[in-house]
Amino acid sequence: MPMTKALDEWRTAERAWAAMEGGDEDDRQAAALRVIEAWMRYQELAGMFDGHAVLVADRSGRFVCANHDASRLFGLPATALIGRTVADITAPGSAGLQESMWRDFLEAGAMKGTYSVVGPGGVVEVHYDARAHHPLPGYFMSKLRSLG
């Protein structure tokens, strides 16, 4: 897909989502997912992720979108990552995402660090860079890169 078409799809999806202000919540959520998926396609085509696994989660902490590098990191198709949570990908015995960490993240709007996840060969240490309310308000994007 050409980048210009991907950008047009992203912008068109954003306009449709914005026009739904105050509309039916299910329709608004479906429109938001179309924006996020179009955003992901454009970012991947533009090379913005530079080999990072990227996951987008909703307010409930469930992943709603994942890129191709996330599929490789976790050894699962992107569609199999949808609906999973941070707890689902956290390595057994790891501290996991604590309530206080989540509050700090929301307050700061961003968080970086290292984390242990479960990949196809076992535990994988990753560096993460997470942003709150990105690519849309109420959604949370994390870029992960294996340290190994």
Q: Is the entire prediction scored with pTM above 0.85? A: yes
126 and 54 in a common domain: yes
CA distance 16 to 36: 12
121 and 57 in a common domain: yes
135 and 86 in a common domain: yes
Three-class DSSP category at 63: strand
Does residue 114 register a pLDDT over 70? yes
The last residue of one of the domains, among 9, 26, 48, is: 48
61 — alpha (psi -120 to 50), left (phi > 0) or beta?
A: left
89 and 141 in a common domain: yes
Contact 105, 132 (CB under 8 A): yes
How many domains are there within the chain? Answer: 2
pLDDT in tens, 17-50: 999 877 788 899 999 999 999 999 999 999 999 8
Domain with residue 147: its CATH number is 3.30.450.20
What's the confidence (pLDDT) of residue 98?
A: 63
Range of the domain at 89: 50-148
